[in-house]
Amino acid sequence: MEKQYDLVIIGAGPGGYVAAKKAAKLGMKVVIIDKGEIGGTCINRGCIPTKALVHAATLYHEMKECEKFGLTAEKVGFDLQKIYEYKDDSAAKMREGLEKEFADLGITSVRGRATIQSDRKVRVVTQSQETVYFTGKYILIATGAKARMVDIPGMELPGVMTSEELLTSNESRYRRLLILGGGVIGIELATVFNALGSEVTIVELSDRLLPNMDVEFSDTLEEILTGRGIHIYKESILEKVTQKEQGLECRYVYRGINQHEEVDAVLVSVGRTANTEGLFDPDVPIRTENGRIVVDDFYMTSMKGIYAIGDVIGGIQLAHVASAQAAYVVERMNDLQPSVIIEMVPSCLFTPISIVPSCLYTDPEIASVGITEENARKKGIPLRCGKYVMDVNGQAVISQEKHGFIKLLFAADSDVLLGAQMMCERATDMIGEMATAIANGLTSAQLMYAMRAHPTFNEAISCAVENSREDQRRW
């Protein structure tokens, strides 16, 4: 039996579920299909469980150090199993909220494996092994990506895992953990397990942590992490993992010198690959490159009426990017003027500027948007820089934050904001103002029009803007 819908969505993560809700609100008949639970990787095996663990670990760390605030907390400890239960409960509440929204909006949700056939038909094998067919006026692929493994001997051993496996496993407390990869996911989980008492080692191929971030922030973060006892080996290559009686032995080369270390587990955090396995029948000519689905400027694939968004098309692999692309595509399907700007905006320069915020939920938080000083120099963009160290910010003093600062980058001639980087509490919340400013081409003068409350972390933005107007540096 074949069921007809206006929109058939494959993948129920932040791209898929945003598209489903928006389409239903616009009057489309929608079915959304996922082989797993609603919410995709983000809610079930990524963003939400990671941030729940970060929150729990941060609270534990703060309780252990509360004496500096005049407080006493004796016998502070943690129950790892209860932390995992809190993590799982957070994800469950998110799923329950989505399921209610789907029901309220009349969205059909199907759990099963979907395969796209010709004539915009989708075959789904459900969990009960029933085969059903859906035909859509439009099909939207939002299947995301999966954690990538590396071709190194020993990757198949018990105890070697990706972040998805780690976040769905509630069994072990790791005394010694080696993390391969110094990107966002690896660093966030390093801080979690370090705070919970694990001995953590990070092995990173690049010459710095977070290679895409402002180098000053990377260096400061490394100083913070090493100060907390995390071992960091940059310019290093993991060569082999072998099983030992007491765990795993990792052999790696650090700046040309052979090293080895025994650990309980290895977390492989080296990026993600598009999730397209079994998605297309052999006679469906969807164009791909390096495993990613190729789309045009409007997110249509090589087949008319079939669109793809999010991690499955590559590019910036963030949940909020997939959600923005979802809203854009659905609005175009309904002949509406898109209400969202996708990733890049024109600037006063010949180079478009990214408005995608990047957030790192460490302690302190790190967030950035737009260009960095390093990128500006490479492109020959003249800048004026404003910086404010949080030492005398009222809220930073109250919380005894030691490492916070904000950096804002303005075009030297037009005064338009081109980039912002923050390292302080609430940075991940504050970066939205800077993304809005870049999207609207605001200048330092216009940013100064806004009054920011005292005492807040946010008032430091005004201080950084003022500093930029005093700074006469040019590149």
Nearest to 25 by CA among 334, 354, 266, 371: 334
Q: Which residues are catalytic?
A: 454
Q: Give the orientation angle of helix 184-195 with respect to helix 47-64, to 10 degrees.
A: 40
Residue 188's SS3 state is helix
Check whether the bond before 455 is cis (ω within 30° of 0).
yes
Work out the angle at residue 400's Cα, subtended by the Cα atoms of residues 397 and 405, and round it to the nearest 5 degrees: 70
**SS percent in the chain: helix, strand, coil, step 5:** 35, 30, 35
Distance CA(306)–CA(260), nearest Å, equals: 49
Phi, psi angle pair for 343, to nearest 5°: 70, -50
Asked if 90 and 49 touch (Cβ cutoff 8 Å), the reply is yes
Torsion (CA) 233, 234, 237, 240 in degrees, nearest 10: 20
| Integer angstrom CA distances of residue 170 from 79, 81, 185, 186 | 12, 7, 18, 18
User: Are the CB atoms for 8 and 140 separated by under 8 Å?
Assistant: yes
Q: What single DSSP character describes residue 149? A: P
Instruction: Give one DSSP letter per residue of 89-129, joined into a string.
Output: HHHHHHHHHHHHHHHHHT-EEEEEEEEEETTTEEEEEETTS
117 to 122, 131, 343, 432: CA distances (angstroms):
6, 14, 31, 41
Q: What are phi and psi of 219, to 5 degrees?
A: -65, -40
The packing angle between helices 80-105 and 14-25, to 10°, is: 30
Distance of CA 262 to the CA centre of its chain: 30
Q: Which of 221, 212, 214 is nearest to 409 (CA)?
A: 214
The Cα 369–Cα 349 span in angstroms is: 16
Q: Residue 364, preceding bond cis, omega within 30 degrees?
A: yes
Strand order in the sheet with 265-268: 160-162, 265-268, 176-180, 199-203, 231-233
Q: Using alpha carbons, list the distances in angstroms from residue 323 to 22, 27, 328.
A: 10, 19, 9
